[in-house]
Every structure is written in structure tokens, then in C-alpha cells.
């Protein structure tokens, strides 16, 4: 089965062509980073307009790269939620308009489930049960992928998402948007022990990042001026606090419910320290699976992977369907 997949939940206009396996035939991502950078964050209205301009060309490009035309496509998959309502609508309506015009079925899927299933391209044999850590700009969820293929949330953030914490911390440190990659880069030159930041406290398997963010703010204010080395040290310490908090919860979950695999996903799974530490801290107990960096941040390949899995479970969606900004894992 071959699906054309569309993703417009935030500031990446993305289209991909995937095949059962899953196999990735084409993966096109048009980032709006430069558009939003002057504002220090994503401006929903601008994002939606940019999707309108970029989406159809991205779909055409993906199809051209896949080596065959619409005649080889069996259906479409599109991100139904969660995300920004205005940007989701562009994808959901474009996908359904194309589907209607071409007489193809279409399935709406969860962006969060997509972040989990992104791992399948490099690990097609991956099967539940598994634990997953899905960490992005809008979500930090510790999940269990059950034997039946359902996704249960074991823990979530009670305030900021991990990516949001990276982005806000970067702003406090005077680093450019998007903050996560900037902190990651600078932290490599810093010493995480140069400053002691508190570890977030939250109950059970939940996360909390607002405390460490406030501690960083006070530390920066206390120092007044930051030279390059101080900025690097603070980046390293802040990153260490977030990574430590995330992995501490995963370790607790693994101790509570033994599983053979832990899957990382979402934009923050691009973080080099998180990738290395996940392997170092969990690798002796479980297999740690992390998608290649470009499949961690938002893309349509993962929406295609989710489409293939969900199609098996429930078949295509009944059109017309709407965007669902508050959708969970599906």
C-alpha cells in the first residue's frame, strides 16, 4: 500500500510518500523557521498562510521524488491534530480536496502517534510492548505502546513541554529561535557542572520544567553580564537538568513495567545529549531506539507511518472530517 502523507500541525510544511513496510520513498520538508525567527516564536496566522502557499508544491515535489505519479497512490494520510487549528485546517482540507478530486480514501491521524511510529522506518521489526518518550515543542509524554497496539499515557508535563523549556531557556540566555538546537550546539562547549540547577519535581511519572526555567532566569539576572563561556556553561547545565529529568522518569517507568524497548521521538529527541544519555543510562536494561534526527522533528514521513498502521486498525476516515487541535495519541 502506498500513501501520500501531509503534515501542517505547526511551522513545517511537509509531504511524503510511504509504502507498507514502512518504506520511505520521498520526504519533503519546507521549514518556516526564517519566517518566524524575527518574532522569537511561531506566529499562527503567518504559519497558516505560508502552508497555503507551500503545501501543494511540496506534495507535487514528494510525488515526483517517489518515482511514480498519483496512479501508484492508494490513499492519503494527514495530521488531524494536535496542533494549531489554523495550520491543521490547511492540511486537513487540502488532503480531503485532493482525495475527493482523485477518488482516493483519506485517513486523519495523530501527530503524536506519528512521532512514535517514526522509529519504524529504521526498525521495521519494532513491535509493542514498548515504552515511549515523546518530547516536542508542545508535548512531553511518557507512554506505553501496548501489546494490542494502543498508546496509553503514563506521565505528562504539568507545565511546560520539554521543547518549550528549551525554547524559553534559550530566550533567557539570549540565543536565537528555535532555541532547542541553539542550546544543543552551545552546550557542547560548556561545562554542565559549572552551575547547579535544581532538578524538576513532579509527582510519579509526570514532568515539570517551570522550576528549572525560573532558576535559570534568576541565575542569569544574578550574573548580569554573560560572556560566551558563561552562556555555554549555562546552556550545558540547563540541558543537563532537562535531560536528567526526562531520563529519570523513563528509568522509573522501566523499573515499574519491564519492557524490551524504549522509543524516543519528537523534536527534542534530536538533542545529542538526550540521545547519548538515553543509551548510556538505559542501554543495559532495554533496547533504546531513536529515529534519525530528521525524522524526530516534524515531518510527513511519520504521518505516513501512522497512516499505514491506523489503516490496518480502523480503515480510512469518513470524509468530510475536521481538524482536531486537542487530539491525543489517536
Which residues contribute to the site for ligand KG4 (CB under 6 A)?
10, 136-138, 163, 166-167, 178-181, 184, 266-268, 270-271, 297-298
Beta strands in the chain (DSSP E): 2-7, 12-19, 23-31, 75-81, 106-110, 130-135, 140-145, 151-156, 261-265, 287-289
- Return d(Cα 134, Cα 162) in angstroms, integer: 10
Q: How far is the CB of 202 from Zn ion (least distance, A)?
A: 22
180 binds, among Zn ion, ligand KG4, none (CB under 5 to 8 A by kind): ligand KG4
Q: How far is the CB of 192 from Zn ion (least distance, A)?
A: 26
Q: How far is the CB of 170 from ligand KG4 (least distance, A)?
A: 8
Cα distances (angstroms) measured from residue 43 to each of 32, 35, 106: 10, 9, 28
Q: What are phi and psi of 22, to 5 degrees?
A: -80, 150
User: Is the CB of 166 or the CB of 236 nearer to Zn ion?
Assistant: 166
Grid cell in block for residue 274: 538526550
Beta strands 130-135 and 261-265 are parallel
DSSP 86-116: HHHHHHHHHHHHHHHHHT--EEEEEHHHHHH
Q: Are 97 and 26 in contact (CB under 8 A)?
A: no
User: Is the CB of 178 or the CB of 211 nearer to ligand KG4?
Assistant: 178
Q: How far is the CB of 137 from ligand KG4 (least distance, A)?
A: 3
User: Is the CB of 118 or the CB of 216 nearer to Zn ion?
Assistant: 118
User: Is the CB of 128 or the CB of 137 nearer to ligand KG4?
Assistant: 137
User: Is the CB of 233 or the CB of 316 nearer to ligand KG4?
Assistant: 233
Q: Decide if residue 7 touches Zn ion (CB under 5 A).
A: no
Q: How far is the CB of 130 from ligand KG4 (least distance, A)?
A: 19
Task: Pick the piece of the chain touching Zn ion (CB under 5 A) from 73-81, 134-142, 192-200, 224-232.
Answer: 134-142
Residue number, nearest CB to Zn ion: 136
178 binds, among ligand KG4, Zn ion, none (CB under 5 to 8 A by kind): ligand KG4
- Return d(Cα 160, Cα 217) in angstroms, integer: 15
Of 268, 158, 173, nearest to 213 by C-alpha is: 173
Q: Decide if residue 136 touches Zn ion (CB under 5 A).
A: yes
Cα distances (angstroms) measured from residue 217 to each of 171, 190, 212, 243: 10, 18, 9, 18
Q: Decide if residue 298 touches Zn ion (CB under 5 A).
A: yes
Q: How far is the CB of 173 from ligand KG4 (least distance, A)?
A: 13
- Residues near Zn ion (CB under 5 A) are 136, 298
Amino acid at each position: 500500500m502506498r500513501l501520500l502523507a501531509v503534515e501542517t500541525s505547526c511551522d513545517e510544511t511537509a509531504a511524503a510518500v510511504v509504502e507498507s513496510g514502512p518504506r520511505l520513498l520521498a520526504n519533503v520538508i519546507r521549514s518556516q523557521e526564517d519566517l518566524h525567527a524575527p518574532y522569537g516564536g511561531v506566529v499562527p496566522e503567518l504559519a497558516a498562510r505560508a502552508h497555503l502557499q507551500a503545501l501543494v508544491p511540496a506534495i507535487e515535489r514528494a510525488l515526483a521524488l517517489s518515482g511514480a505519479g498519483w496512479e501508484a497512490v492508494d490513499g492519503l494520510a494527514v495530521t488531524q491534530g494536535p496542533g494549531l487549528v489554523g495550520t491543521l485546517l490547511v492540511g486537513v482540507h487540502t488532503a480531503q480536496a485532493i482525495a475527493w478530486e482523485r477518488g482516493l480514501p483519506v485517513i486523519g491521524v495523530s501527530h503524536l502517534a506519528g512521532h512514535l511510529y517514526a522509529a519504524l522506518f529504521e526498525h521495521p521489526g519494532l513491535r509493542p510492548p514498548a515504552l515511549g518518550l515523546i518530547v516536542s515543542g508542545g508535548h512531553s509524554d511518557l507512554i506505553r505502546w501496548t501489546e494490542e497496539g494502543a498508546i496509553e499515557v503514563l506521565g505528562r508535563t504539568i507545565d511546560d513541554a520539554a521543547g518549550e523549556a528549551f525554547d524559553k531557556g534559550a530566550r533567557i540566555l539570549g540565543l536565537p529561535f528555535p532555541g532547542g538546537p541553539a542550546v544543543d550546539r552551545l552546550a557542547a562547549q560548556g561545562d554542565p557542572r559549572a552551575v547547579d540547577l535544581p532538578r524538576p519535581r513532579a509527582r510519579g511519572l509526570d514532568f515539570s520544567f517551570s522550576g528549572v526555567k525560573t532558576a535559570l532566569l534568576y541565575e542569569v539576572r544574578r550574573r548580569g553580564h554573560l560572556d560566551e563561556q558563561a552562556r555555554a556553561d549555562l546552556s550545558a547545565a540547563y540541558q543537563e537538568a532537562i535531560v536528567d529529568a526526562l531520563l529519570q522518569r523513563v528509568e522509573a517507568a522501566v523499573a515499574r513495567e519491564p519492557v524490551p524497548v524504549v522509543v524516543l521521538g519528537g523534536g527534542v529527541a534530536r538533542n545529542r545529549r538526550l540521545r547519548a544519555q538515553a543509551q548510556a543510562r538505559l542501554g543495559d536494561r532495554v533496547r533504546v531506539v531513536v529515529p534519525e534526527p530528521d525524522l524526530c522533528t516534524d515531518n510527513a514521513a511519520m504521518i505516513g507511518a501512522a497512516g499505514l498502521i491506523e489503516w490496518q486498525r480502523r480503515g480510512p476516515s469518513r470524509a468530510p472530517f475536521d481538524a482536531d487541535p486537542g487530539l491525543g495519541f489517536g
